[in-house]
Amino acid sequence: MRSDHYFVILLLTVCFCLCTSGAVNARDGKEIVIEHIDSNSAKYSAIAQEIWDYAELGYMEEKSSVLLQTTLAEAGFQIEAGVAEMPTAFIASYGSGSPVIAILAEYDALPGITQDRLPVRQPLEGSESGHACGHNLLGTGSTAAAIAIKEWLESSSTSGTIRLYGTPAEEGGNGKVYMVQAGLFDDVDTVLDWHPQNRNAAGVISTLAIKTAKFRFHGVSAHAASAPHLARSALDAVEAMNNMVNMMREHVPQESRIHYVITHGGLAPNVTPDFAEVEYYVRNPDIDQVHQIFERIVKAAEGAALGTGTTMDFEITGGLYSRLPNEILGRALHANLERVGGVEYDANEREFATKLYATLPDGSPPIESAAQVYPFAVLAAALPSSTDVGDVSWVAPTAGFAAATYVPGTSNHTWQAIAAGGMSIGNKGMLVAAKTMALTAVDLFTNTNLISKAKEEFEGRRGPDFVYKPLVGDHPPPLEYRKTH
C-alpha cells in the first residue's frame, strides 16, 4: 500500500509538471526577455538615434540596413542580405524548425521634411529628409525584440525559429510586397509588427488597399504665342484628366480616397508642353473596389488624350492590400502591452513634451496619456491609411500594435514626430514595443494552441478560395523611386 501511495504521488507530480511546464517556461522566458531589453536599453537607444541621424530614403537605406544587420549578426543571427532583388532588404534568422515567428522591421525616412531634436520648429540644416514616421525606432525596436527572443531560445533550449525581416521602402516603395511575392513568408507561422504612434494601443484594425500609377501624356510642342494652333498640349490632357476624376469623386463609395500630383507639367509657359505626367493614388478598404475605381480613372485618362489630341500611357507604380486583422494575435499583444505599461516621462522629458504640446492642435489627449494603455479596440471601419504590412497579413497570420513614441496628439509625418523620435521620449516608447513583441513571441513559442487558433481565424477571414496576386503586377522593385535626377 505504501509503495502504491508513493507511486500515485509520483504520477501526479509528473502530470503536474508536464501540464505546467509550458506556463513555467513562458514565465521564465518573459523574465529573460525583459531583463535583456532593460540591460541593453542604452545600446538600442543609441542605434535608433544613429538611424535617426542617417534619415535615409526608401531603397537607399544602406547605412541603416547594415547597422541593423551587423547588430543581429553579432548577436548570433544568420543574415541573408539583398533578398527579393532589394539591396537594403534582409532576413535575420536564429534557431531551427517550427514554429517560425517573424518580426517586421522598417528603417526608411521621409523626403521633404526635417527637424532638429527640439520642441519648437527648427529644420535641420543640411538635411532634406527625416524620420517623421519613426522608422528609426521601428527597425531598432524590432531588432531588440528579436535578439531578446534569441537569448531566451538559446538559454532555454526551446525549439523554433525567430526571424527578423528587414523591410525597406515602406513609405511608398512597397518593399514587403516584393518579399511576399518572392515567397519569403511562405513557411512563417505568425507575424508580429508595431508602429510608432502617440498612444499605446492594440486592436482589430484594418487599413485601405491602394493602387498607384503614373499617367504620361505625349503631345506636340510649338511656340505658345506665334503658333499655338500647331501644338497639342500634354499639360491640357493632364488637367482634363484631373477635372474628370475630380467630378468622379461624387460617384465613388464614400470611404474611397483619390489623390494626385502633377509630377511634370512643362518647363516654360511660352513652350506648349509635349510631355506631362500625373501620379495617382486610389484607395478603398475593398481590393475589388480599388480595381474598379482605378479602371474608371484609366478611362478618364483615355478620354483626356482623345479630347486633346495627345497620346497616353500609364505605369503601375505600386499597390498594397488592406490589412487582414487577427483578433487572437491582437489580444495576445494587448495583454502583454498591458503588462509592460506605457511611457513615463522624467522631468526633462516632461519639459520637452510641454513645449512641443503647445504646437499641437487644440483638444489633443493630455500628456499624461502616454503612460496609459488604451482598451483593446475592435474598429468597424478601416484606418484611412495604407501599409505594405497588408500584403504580409494575407499570407500569414499578422497582428500589430502602437507604442507611444511621440507626445500625445502628435501625428505621423510631422516635424513633431521627428523631434520626439530623436530623443529619449521616442526611445522609451520603442522599448515598450520591443518588450511587448518579445513577450508575445514567448507566448507563441510556448503555446502552440495560440498559433493554431490564430491560423484558424486567419483562414476564416481570408476565405478558402483566396489566391494572392500582388497589385503591383510584375513590376520590379522601384529602386530609384526616391532618387532625384
Residue 257 maps to which CATH number? 3.30.70.360
Is residue 347 over pLDDT 60?
yes
Amino acid at the residue 167: T
For 209, list phi and psi in degrees, rounded to 5: -70, 155
Q: Are residues 326 and 337 in the same domain?
A: yes
Q: CA torsion 444→182→61→411, rounded to 10°?
A: -60
CB atoms within 10 A of CB 226: 9
Alpha-carbon span 285 to 278, nearest angstrom:
24
Are the CB atoms for 164 and 143 separated by under 8 Å?
yes
Q: Are residues 44 and 179 in the same domain?
A: yes
Nine cell digits for residue 32: 529573460
Residues 6+ apart with CB under 8 A from 265: 235, 238, 273, 276
Domain boundary among 320, 343, 358: 320
How many domains does the chain divide into? 2
Q: Are residues 142 and 31 in the same domain?
A: yes
245-248: long-range pairs with CB below 8 Å, 24+: 245/280, 245/297, 245/300, 248/296, 248/297, 248/300
Terminal Cα-to-Cα distance of the chain (whole angstroms): 90
Q: Are residues 47 and 137 in the same domain?
A: yes
**CA of residue 71 relative to chain centroid, distance:** 21
* 0.85 surpassed by pTM: yes
pLDDT band at residue 29 using 50, 70 and 90 as cut-offs: confident
pLDDT of residue 442: 97
pLDDT of residue 483: 86
Does residue 74 fall inside a structural domain? Answer: yes
DSSP 8-state assignment for residue 193: E
Is residue 13 over pLDDT 70?
no
Does residue 471 fall inside a structural domain? Answer: no
Domain boundary among 294, 320, 346: 320
Query: pLDDT tens digits, residue range 269-308?
Result: 999 999 999 999 999 999 999 999 999 999 999 999 999 9
Strands (E), 20-99: 78-81, 90-96
pLDDT band at residue 357 using 50, 70 and 90 as cut-offs: very high
Q: Are residues 374 and 315 in the same domain?
A: no
Closest CA to 228 of 264, 277, 271: 271
CB atoms within 10 A of CB 157: 6
**CA of residue 356 relative to chain centroid, distance:** 25
pLDDT of residue 484: 73
Does residue 138 fall inside a structural domain? Answer: yes
Q: Are residues 202 and 243 in the same domain?
A: no
pLDDT band at residue 137 using 50, 70 and 90 as cut-offs: very high
pLDDT of residue 25: 65
Q: Are residues 44 and 186 in the same domain?
A: yes
Q: Are residues 62 and 144 in the same domain?
A: yes
pLDDT of residue 475: 82
For 477, the 3-state DSSP assignment is coil
Q: Are residues 93 and 229 in the same domain?
A: no
Does residue 363 fall inside a structural domain? Answer: yes
Nine cell digits for residue 129: 529628409
Report the percentage of the chain scoring pLDDT > 90. Answer: 90
Q: Are residues 203 and 236 in the same domain?
A: no
Torsional sign, CA 290, 293, 299, 304: negative
Alpha-carbon span 246 to 250, nearest angstrom:
8
Q: Are residues 89 and 174 in the same domain?
A: yes
Alpha-carbon span 290 to 292, nearest angstrom:
5
Does residue 362 fall inside a structural domain? Answer: yes
Structural domain boundaries enclosing 411: 17-207+322-462
Q: Are residues 136 and 266 in the same domain?
A: no
pLDDT of residue 28: 87
Does residue 264 fall inside a structural domain? Answer: yes
Residue 411 maps to which CATH number? 3.40.630.10
- Give the helix/strand (H/E) hosting 173: none
Starting from the edge strand earliest in sequence, which strands make up the sheet with 190-197, in order? 78-81, 90-96, 160-166, 100-105, 190-197, 398-404, 201-204, 377-378
Domain boundary among 287, 320, 353: 320
Complete DSSP assignment for 296-320: HHHHHHHHHHHHHT-EEEEEEEEEE
Report the percentage of the chain scoring pLDDT > 70. Answer: 95
Does residue 230 fall inside a structural domain? Answer: yes
Does residue 484 fall inside a structural domain? Answer: no
